[in-house]
A and B are shown apart, each in its own frame.
Chain A
Amino acid sequence: GQNIDQPTEMTATEGAIVQINCTYQTSGFNGLFWYQQHAGEAPTFLSYNVLDGLEEKGRFSSFLSRSKGYSYLLLKELQMKDSASYLCAVRDRDYKLSFGAGTTVTVRA
């Protein structure tokens, strides 16, 4: 099974940078995903890491260390529309995705 931990809430100022950490314990690792979910909406895919290192996609970057069971999502140049919940998810060898409880990010002007 999977045990996935991430902070419950974070607050940051518009234009700033926020880093959301995720730690996991898994019986069979096959990739780590980050999803964004705005209130009342469905989750949408942000990033995917399967090898160690940093994946950059515009203002968003995601990092993975498999030996440490650790990932982070970095949000740069924060905008008001980035206020949302960010979900860390780990995929197992059967291609099932297990999610953390999510981190609610509030961006303030």
Chain B
Amino acid sequence: DTGVSQNPRHKITKRGQNVTFRCDPISEHNRLYWYRQTLGQGPEFLTYFQNEAQLEKSRLLSDRFSAERPKGSFSTLEIQRTEQGDSAMYLCAAGGTAQQETQYFGPGTRLLVL
């Protein structure tokens, strides 16, 4: 158990619909990261938070994607007007602020856009 939970574990939606995913890390991890993993590939960085501040966003994160971390605890990732290309596993990871510190991953949310 890494102490990071994600919900839902699976989501099937139709193209054009909005979806929201949630990540809950244990409280002592003040950094939170979102990654996306497509089939046969390694995870790719999307964005990260330190406490409630979103400090970096990848170019992979189009305007249809938005992430929040109110109060520096749980985080949500919303995708608006989903496209088939958004189908992937969305991973949340948590860690501390020490240089090059280990990140602990949740089980992921698998999204399928029909």
> Do A and B interact?
no
